[in-house]
Amino acid sequence: MDYRISNRLSSVLEGDKMFDTQRICQILEKELQPIIDNFLELEGRVKVRYKKENAHNIFFVEFAAQRIKPIGYIPY
């Protein structure tokens, strides 16, 4: 799996002069889904929302999980 999210986001932010926040949220959702799936049993999809507050760009990541997957445990 490729976890180079920061590189992809940097290229989007530098190359996208219109600053399409919906596109950035979609990219984050797509990239975060497999990472979160590794650790949690999700009930649905990961949702990312964006809010601009003064000079800050705030991202909210939302998801619901049924359980946390055991780490370092190999079932029989």
Please give the model's pTM, rounded to 2 decimal places. Answer: 0.68
Domain ranges for the chain: 5-68
Query: What does the pLDDT look like over 2-61, one tens digit per residue?
Result: 556 667 666 666 666 567 889 889 999 999 999 999 999 999 999 999 998 998 889 999
Cβ atoms of 63 and 46 within 8 Å: the answer is yes
**Where does the pLDDT of residue 70 fall: very low under 50, low under 70, confident under 90, or very high at 90 and above?**
confident
**Where does the pLDDT of residue 1 fall: very low under 50, low under 70, confident under 90, or very high at 90 and above?**
very low
* 41 contacts: CB under 8 Å, gap ≥ 6: 65, 66, 67, 68, 69
